Chain A
Amino acid sequence: MHKGILLGALAGMAFAAGAASAATLDDVKARGVLKCGVNAGLAGFAAPDSSGRWKGFDVDYCRALAAAIFGDQEKIDFTPTTTETRFTALVSGEIDVLARNSTWTFTRDVDLKLDFVAVNYYDGQGFMVSKDLGVSSAKELDGATVCIQTGTTTELNLADFFKTNGISYQPVPIQTEAEARQQFLGGACDAYTTDASGLAAARSGYPNPENYIILPEIISKEPLGPVVRHGDNQWADIARWTFYALVEAEELGITKANLDEMKSSQNPEIRRLLGVEGDLGKMFGLSPDWAYNAIKANGNFGEIFAASIGEGTPSNLARGLNAQWKDGGLMYAPPFR
């Protein structure tokens, strides 16, 4: 009898341990809140505003995902992560989805047991220097001290770039954007390297942004995107298609403002996306109006881009590669049918 209880308890614990990585959607629904890992503070991508509300490009994706699941974009907890803690936080189940300017690479996808669900920003690694240095190309940086966020692909790209060009550098590893700012503005490093979008975002927060230039060399491909744990395909599908719903909405001209009129549109593609027709949502365990809710949260992909990092915002990034495929960019949502 006693032995039975003990064994039963042990078996229960073992089962609980094993089940931790099973159906993420059920866990999220039971918890009533989505846990999203974001950058600890990168203006435009993820940063709390003066009233403590998280804002930014990656944040808005997470809010859309929460809205798709719960119909309410506020049912979300943001966990600030550093470059070093982000994947551990995701794999350990501390967060459900990671949207933190993370580059999709082979080893991360395959060996780290992560699933990159889509690319929400096509980026590349660049260098920022002070104008006073009189440097016009990254190849002139021989002997320079370079600030670099540790635990990133940028670290490896940097080593490769300097090696390929046969020049040397002194790396200064840093943990956060705030530390980078202190070191770089203080002149403790000659150059600061990270994804070009990150450089633009960082520069927007400097006292005299016009004194710093981003060098023309883009030394790597950095497809950034949301990440989920490997092995839960249903959850990966939800994360993937919520993103594509936002992209598709932009292509179809569905905006936050005209969302409700669009519901009565006769275009079957719009009707299917917004759940007026068919039952796409049910196929992965969400309500039929999941995409409607996701778009309603902060608008379509283009609106999110424009509001957080687009031209006119402090980051002032052009759409470039991140424009719709029809406009010469790489944003291309697979068909919703």
Chain B
Amino acid sequence: MAMTATQAEPFRPSMLIYDTRYRSLTFQVIALVAVLTFFGWIVHNTVANLAALGKTFDFGFLEQRAGYDINQHLIPYTNDSTHARAAVVGILNTLLVAFLGCITATVLGIFMGVLRLSPNWLIGRLASVYVETFRNVPVLLWILALMAIITDTFPAPAAFRGDNASASMLAGGTVAFTNRGAYVPWPVFGPGWQAVAIVFALSLAAVWAFGRWAHARQEATGATLPTFWIKLGLLVLPALLVDSLIGAITWTVPELKRFNFEGGGFVDKSLIALWFALALYTGAFIAEIVRSGIQAVARGQSEAAAALGLRPGRIMSLVVLPQALRVIIPPLISQYLNLTKNSSLAIVVGYADVRATLGGITMNQTGRELECMILMMGFYLLISLTISTVMNMYNASVALKER
């Protein structure tokens, strides 16, 4: 019998199913054919339907004049610009709110995550209340709620007018919070601003060099310096000094005109509402991630650090958090991705993100639904993959080095 088993059998079609050597291959081929057929059908269906509607598939509309205005543009844009430029304006607005949101959410999340573990009962419970309220209510509602709060509770610009105005500007008459957004002082870069910028860049380098030197000195002698204040001084003072000498950078302050404040910078309320709603919502998730990361660090670590005489704040920042980061980073990546994708909810508050320009007005005015959707999906895919790549690189740098 053993002899017959090793003999080469002639191939029969039934072996494709009954012979384990071929079976897996058979099913893979079937699966592949099914998948290809499915996608082929989808493409064919789309082409057939487009043809039935007499529509073509092309991206030429991107070069046409957009014709509409956008309330927040980080690059120069007028209604004479092209649809492609409007899309770029939207992309930059998406990136802006995603960037601001990620930073704020991280700071808030770490802060709240640490507070949640506080031995102080009240502080611990307050942090719990924050986490549970924000992560258990849909982010869309938070965005709408913040928008409604700004619209209904802040004064209209008209309230700042007159001798007995019901609202007044803050910070010495330079900042105004209205139900349209915040009007703030804004720098104007006059001739010679490059000199200030160069000095500032040199300051940055000096701060970095000083940090290294102070660290090496502490390693060698054990003596510490008030590095924070010295670094701050190094960073700010030279640039301020140069600027005060040549007067390159001046500030414009918002002033109340016929309808609105003019001059200065304007932060639209839709940006504020979206930014803080996303940050508060995602911050609640990050707080939980931070808490679990801290709790994953063995208790012996902090006890050992305490035995060495470190203060609680230092134990957290020097011993526990660096180790916790290894647990924190991977789930943090998906929170950043979530926040970026959730920013497309901007539509409900009229924030001009890429969904509102390319996927909203442009799509509506040109009727190129398929093209716009493909472009938008491509953009979100690209940005998500970029965030994940960068964060994975960071993760690799903090991961446990096994030697």
| A229 touches which of B53, B79, B179 (Cβ 8 Å) | B53
- Report whether B69 and A186 are in contact in the complex, using a CB–CB cutoff of 8 Å: no
Given contacts A159-B67, A175-B350, contact A144 B260 (CB under 8 A): yes
| B52 touches which of A20, A112, A151, A183 (Cβ 8 Å) | A20
A-facing residues in B323-377 (Cβ within 8 Å)? 347-348, 350, 352, 356, 360-361, 363-367, 369
- Report whether B259 and A144 are in contact in the complex, using a CB–CB cutoff of 8 Å: yes
B104 nearest CB across to chain A (Å): 24
> In the complex the two chains form, what is the Cα distance from A172 to B70 in whole Å?
9
- Tell me the interface secondary structure of chain A in the complex: mixed
For A234, list chain B residues within 8 Å (CB). Answer: none
Indicate if B217 sits at the interface (CB-CB under 8 A): no
Write the chain A residue with the least CB distance to B364: A151
B-facing residues in A1-52 (Cβ within 8 Å)? 6, 10, 13-14, 17-18, 20-21
- Report whether A14 and B44 are in contact in the complex, using a CB–CB cutoff of 8 Å: yes
> In the complex the two chains form, what is the Cα distance from A203 to B262 in whole Å?
29
- Report whether A150 and B53 are in contact in the complex, using a CB–CB cutoff of 8 Å: no
B-facing residues in A251-292 (Cβ within 8 Å)? none
Indicate if A163 sits at the interface (CB-CB under 8 A): yes
- Report whether B152 and A91 are in contact in the complex, using a CB–CB cutoff of 8 Å: no
> In the complex the two chains form, what is the Cα distance from A84 to B158 in whole Å?
32
Write the chain B residue with the least CB distance to A18: B48
For B52, list chain A residues within 8 Å (CB). Answer: 18, 20-21, 231
Indicate if B37 sits at the interface (CB-CB under 8 A): yes
Indicate if B120 sits at the interface (CB-CB under 8 A): no
Given contacts A150-B361, A151-B364, contact A186 B179 (CB under 8 A): yes
For A190, list chain B residues within 8 Å (CB). Answer: 259-260
Indicate if A188 sits at the interface (CB-CB under 8 A): yes
Indicate if B180 sits at the interface (CB-CB under 8 A): yes
Write the chain A residue with the least CB distance to B53: A113
Given contacts A187-B158, A188-B151, contact A170 B260 (CB under 8 A): yes
Chain B: number of interface residues, binned into ranges:
35 or more
> In the complex the two chains form, what is the Cα distance from A262 to B152 in whole Å?
56
- Report whether B258 and A173 are in contact in the complex, using a CB–CB cutoff of 8 Å: no
Number of A interface residues at 8 Å Cβ cutoff, please give it.
52
Indicate if B71 sits at the interface (CB-CB under 8 A): yes
> In the complex the two chains form, what is the Cα distance from A145 to B257 in whole Å?
12
For B257, list chain A residues within 8 Å (CB). Answer: 143
For A21, list chain B residues within 8 Å (CB). Answer: 49, 52-53
For A14, list chain B residues within 8 Å (CB). Answer: 41, 44-45, 48
Interface string of B43-75 (1 = CB under 8 A from A): 011001100111100000000000111110000
> In the complex the two chains form, what is the Cα distance from A103 to B366 in whole Å?
15
> In the complex the two chains form, what is the Cα distance from A229 to B55 in whole Å?
12
Indicate if A75 sits at the interface (CB-CB under 8 A): no
Indicate if B148 sits at the interface (CB-CB under 8 A): yes
Indicate if A73 sits at the interface (CB-CB under 8 A): no
Indicate if A132 sits at the interface (CB-CB under 8 A): yes
Indicate if B269 sits at the interface (CB-CB under 8 A): yes
Interface string of A109-126 (1 = CB under 8 A from B): 001110000000000000
Compute the total of residue contacts between A and B using a CB distance below 8 Å. Answer: 131
> In the complex the two chains form, what is the Cα distance from A241 to B240 in whole Å?
75
Given contacts A159-B67, A173-B71, A174-B350, contact A187 B156 (CB under 8 A): yes
Indicate if A88 sits at the interface (CB-CB under 8 A): yes
B367 nearest CB across to chain A (Å): 4
| B367 touches which of A20, A87, A182, A187 (Cβ 8 Å) | A87
Given contacts A111-B366, A175-B350, A182-B151, contact A187 B179 (CB under 8 A): yes
- Report whether B37 and A230 are in contact in the complex, using a CB–CB cutoff of 8 Å: no
A61 nearest CB across to chain B (Å): 23
> In the complex the two chains form, what is the Cα distance from A327 to B268 in whole Å?
49
Write the chain A residue with the least CB distance to B79: A159
Given contacts A84-B364, A188-B179, contact A163 B350 (CB under 8 A): no
Given contacts A84-B360, A111-B366, A229-B53, contact A143 B350 (CB under 8 A): no
- Report whether A159 and B69 are in contact in the complex, using a CB–CB cutoff of 8 Å: yes
B-facing residues in A54-109 (Cβ within 8 Å)? 83-84, 87-88, 91, 107-108
> In the complex the two chains form, what is the Cα distance from A146 to B70 in whole Å?
12
A265 nearest CB across to chain B (Å): 44
- Report whether B364 and A87 are in contact in the complex, using a CB–CB cutoff of 8 Å: yes
| A143 touches which of B49, B262, B348 (Cβ 8 Å) | B262
> In the complex the two chains form, what is the Cα distance from A169 to B69 in whole Å?
9
For A314, list chain B residues within 8 Å (CB). Answer: none
Write the chain A residue with the least CB distance to B178: A188
Given contacts A14-B44, A171-B69, A171-B71, contact A145 B350 (CB under 8 A): no
Indicate if A333 sits at the interface (CB-CB under 8 A): no
Given contacts A143-B259, A170-B260, contact A156 B68 (CB under 8 A): yes
> In the complex the two chains form, what is the Cα distance from A188 to B273 in whole Å?
14
B79 nearest CB across to chain A (Å): 4
Write the chain A residue with the least CB distance to B156: A187
Given contacts A21-B53, A230-B54, contact A10 B180 (CB under 8 A): no
Indicate if A142 sits at the interface (CB-CB under 8 A): yes
Interface residues of A, Cβ cutoff 8 Å to B: 6, 10, 13-14, 17-18, 20-21, 83-84, 87-88, 91, 107-108, 111-113, 132-133, 141-145, 150-152, 155-156, 158-160, 163, 169-175, 179, 182-183, 186-190, 229-231
Given contacts A111-B367, A159-B79, A182-B151, list 7 more A-B pairs with CB under 8 A.
A84-B364, A107-B367, A150-B361, A156-B67, A173-B352, A175-B350, A231-B53
Closest 6 CB pairs of A and B: A187-B156, A112-B367, A151-B364, A173-B350, A159-B79, A17-B45
Q: List 23 A-B contacts (CB under 8 A).
A: A14-B41, A17-B48, A20-B49, A21-B53, A83-B364, A84-B364, A88-B369, A107-B366, A111-B367, A144-B260, A150-B361, A151-B364, A159-B79, A160-B79, A170-B260, A171-B71, A179-B350, A186-B151, A186-B152, A187-B157, A229-B53, A230-B53, A230-B54
